[in-house]
Structure 1
Amino acid sequence: MKDRTFTADAEPGDHATVAGWVHEVRDLGGIAFLILRDKTGKIQVKFEKDEMDDELVETGINVQRESVVQVTGDVEEEERAPTGVEVTPDSIEVMAEADPQLPLDPSGKVDADLSTRLDNRTLDARKPETKAIFEIRAEVLRAVREYFRSVGSTEINTPKIVATGTEGGTELFPVTYFGEEAFMNQSPQLFKQLMVGSGLERVFEVGPIFRAEEHNTPRHLNEATMIDFESAFIDHEEAMDVCEGTLKAAYSAVEENCQEELELLGLADEFEAPSGDFPRLTYEEAIERINATGELDEQLVWGDDLPTEGEKALGDDVGGHYFVTDWPSEIKPFYIQDYDDDSELSKGFDLMHPRMELVSGGQREHRYDALVEGFKQQGLDPDQFEYYTKMFKYGMPPHAGWAYGVERLVMTMLDLDNIREAVLFPRDRQRLSP
């Protein structure tokens, strides 16, 4: 509709055509109002029954809520209208009539549970609060891409159907690929490492990953969107610098460009981009601080992963984003490099939000013999990954990188209760449709 005017752009004195959804109809006797909603907001359409064509009035006051309509008329100033202007129509067209029995109320006056909302996500996303989440998510992705480009990183796209899993045969979704078994990719990890050995050197990807994990919690998904980064000629400390930079860029962009959305979500007064350097705690320091809180029934010892309640206790103690570095080699993947002077200590790191882990990363093992030995130590067959390992024979530079999920970032940024709030059409153990 090239002659369409968005509701936010309609100004007194215009003769405009607006189009959108019927938010509500109020019939007050001699006068009636239709509130039309589009992506930019709402506008009032006024029907004066005694002064207008009967058919025009009947169409306007009898149309069902959430029907799609097009209205053409004069825009006039009206202080009592929700947006200070209203349209006096000379025509109205019902472009798509809505069923009167809606599965949920997009106006938000009647609450619906999360399952009903996800079953009817198109309707749910008409709610300004839901729409605000995805506008913010889009701004996060825009800002992250812009930051990556500012540090000389090239965007790539890697395969999502693979012959082997990134971390072995667990948590894989098998698929039939022309009569052969293949898998949905768990991560672009191996491919992005191969690309740092190419002429690109520094790369990033934003794309889906698939994990057949058994977790069915408010913070786990079986399909997620990951932000991945990998760069040649940097170490794990420099990789953390870039990681911190992307997160601060995302928060700053939302703070600067999404005030209206933050207002809708009730976060405008408290939302603030992180400032200052994120603390970097060693794994040993982290477990000592967790144990000191007294929040766990049993004390953590070297080699334990950090339990959810431990992460929360440490997050409360730190009070903001922080890194955990120098993890035990045995609990990090085979491709994470160990310190040369201590083979039990890896150059892996995690970036933590006070609520949960956001990022996993580290310096990678770029030396062929050490990489193959890492496969064997973790019970993996190096021959199954020959497409990957052989490239390390041909001059693979030192490199480091990391990855984090868009959904977890948005969930923690907006203090959402469930990660499914941050993805349009979630995939988990119970949900394959829509």
Structure 2
Amino acid sequence: MDDRTYTAEAEPGETVTVAGWVHEIRDLGGIAFLILRDTTGKIQVKFEKDEMDDDLVDTGLGVHRESVVAVTGDVEEEPRAPTGVEITPDSLDVVAEADPELPLDPSGKVDADLSTRLDNRTLDLRKDEVQAIFAIRAEVLRSVREAFRNLDATEINTPKIVATGTEGGTELFPITYFGQEAFMNQSPQLFKQLMVGSGLERVFEIGPIFRAEEHNTPRHLNEATSIDFESAFYDHTEAMDACETIVKAAYEGVAENCQDELEALDLDEEFEAPAGDFPRLTYEEAIERINATGELDEQLVWGDDLPTEGEHALGQDVGEHYFITDWPSEIKPFYIKDHDDDEQLSTGFDMMHPTMELVSGGQREHRYDHLVEGFEQQGLDPEQFDYYTKMFKYGMPPHAGWGLGGERLVMTMLGLGNIREAVLFPRDRQRLSP
């Protein structure tokens, strides 16, 4: 519609055409109001029944909620209206009639459970607070892209259909690829490492990853968005510096550009970007602090992975974003480099929100012989990864990087109760549609 005016731009004294959804109809007897909603907000359309054409009144007041309509009329100042103005219509066209039986209430006056909301995501997204989540998610991605470019990183796109899994194991989704077995990629890890061996040196990617996890929890997905970074001539400490920069940039972008959305989520007064450096605890310090909380039935010992309840106890103790460094080599992937002075200690790190893990990273093993040995130690066949390992024969620089869960970042930033709230169309063990 070339002549369409957005509701937020309608000014008193103008004649405009606005188009959007019927949010609500209020019939007060001799006067009635239709509240029209578009992407910029809502506007009141006034029907004075005795002074208007009967057909216009009948059409305007007979249309079902959530129908799409176009209204042309004069804009007048009205302090009692929700936005301070209202439209007296000359015409109202029903562009698309909505079924009167809606599967959920987009006004939010009647709650719906998450499953119903996800089954009807298009309707669910008509609610201000749901739209706010995805506007904030978009700002997070914009901000981190800008921050990556400020780090002189080049954006790349790597394959999502692969011949071998990044980490092997049972978390692979197999597919048939022209008669061959292939898999949905678990991570861009191997490809981004190959890129730092090229002339690009420093790269990032924001894209989907796929994991056939059996978990069915509020924080796990089978298709997720990974925010990845890798840089040549970085060690693990420099990679952590970059990680901290990116996470802070995401928060700062939201704080600066999403005040209306934060207000819709009732977060405008409490939201703030992290200040100061993120604490860095060694793995040994982490298990000591978890044990000291007394929250676990059994004390953790060296080599244990951190259970969820242990992460929560440590997160409450630390109270802010933090890193866990110097993990045991045996519980980190084959491509993580060990410390030069202690082969039992890896350069791997995790970056944590007080409620959950957000990032896994480390310095990578860039020496061919050590890399192949790592494959064999973890029961993987190096020959299946020849496309990857052979490039380490041709001059692979030291490098480090990490992967950040995009949905987990948004979930923890906004305090969402379920990670599916941060995904338009989630994929988990039960959900393949819509």
Which category of TM-score, normalised to the shorter sequence, fits these structures?
over 0.9
Aligned to 2:231: 231
- C-alpha distance in 1 between matches for 2:367 and 2:17: 65
- C-alpha distance in 2 between matches for 1:280 and 1:11: 54
Aligned to 1:196: 196
**1:213-362 matched pairs, under 5 angstroms:** 213-362=213-362
- C-alpha distance in 1 between matches for 2:233 and 2:72: 61
- C-alpha distance in 2 between matches for 1:206 and 1:17: 39
- C-alpha distance in 1 between matches for 2:4 and 2:169: 54
- C-alpha distance in 1 between matches for 2:341 and 2:170: 31
Q: Is residue 411 of structure 2 the alignment partner of residue 402 of structure 1?
A: no
Q: CA deviation at 1:272?
A: 0.6
Q: CA deviation at 1:170?
A: 2.1
In structure 2, stretches of 5+ residues that fail to align are none
Query: Match of 1:425, SS?
Result: coil
- C-alpha distance in 2 between matches for 1:107 and 1:410: 24
The one-letter amino acid paired with 2:40 is: T
Query: Match of 1:409, SS?
Result: helix
Q: What TM-score do the two structures reach when normalised by structure 1?
A: 0.99
Q: Per-residue CA shift, 1:129-153, capped at 9, x if unaligned?
A: 1000000000000000000001100
Q: CA deviation at 1:65?
A: 0.1
- C-alpha distance in 2 between matches for 1:147 and 1:22: 40
- C-alpha distance in 2 between matches for 1:326 and 1:39: 48
Q: CA deviation at 1:230?
A: 0.4
Aligned to 1:432: 432
In structure 1, stretches of 5+ residues that fail to align are none
- C-alpha distance in 1 between matches for 2:226 and 2:13: 48
Aligned to 1:418: 418
Aligned to 2:64: 64
The one-letter amino acid paired with 1:418 is: N
- C-alpha distance in 1 between matches for 2:2 and 2:384: 56
- C-alpha distance in 2 between matches for 1:203 and 1:382: 25
Aligned to 1:366: 366
List 4+ stretches of structure 1 deviating above 6 A.
none
Q: Per-residue CA shift, 1:6-29, capped at 9, x if unaligned?
A: 111111111111110000011111
Query: Match of 2:387, SS?
Result: helix
**Sequence identity percentage:** 84
Q: Per-residue CA shift, 1:77-107, capped at 9, x if unaligned?
A: 0001011000111111100000000000000
- C-alpha distance in 2 between matches for 1:238 and 1:115: 42
- C-alpha distance in 2 between matches for 1:230 and 1:407: 20
Aligned to 2:180: 180
Number of aligned residue pairs: give it: 434
- C-alpha distance in 2 between matches for 1:42 and 1:29: 22
Aligned to 1:3: 3
Aligned to 1:209: 209
Aligned to 2:387: 387
**1:129-168 matched pairs, under 5 angstroms:** 129-168=129-168
Q: Per-residue CA shift, 1:378-413, capped at 9, x if unaligned?
A: 111000000000000000000000001111000000
Q: What TM-score do the two structures reach when normalised by structure 2?
A: 0.99
- C-alpha distance in 2 between matches for 1:4 and 1:158: 41
The one-letter amino acid paired with 1:113 is: D
- C-alpha distance in 2 between matches for 1:399 and 1:334: 15
Q: CA deviation at 1:341?
A: 1.2
Q: CA deviation at 1:291?
A: 0.5
Q: CA deviation at 1:168?
A: 1.2
Query: Match of 2:313, SS?
Result: helix
Q: Give the RMSD, CA atoms, in angstroms.
A: 0.6
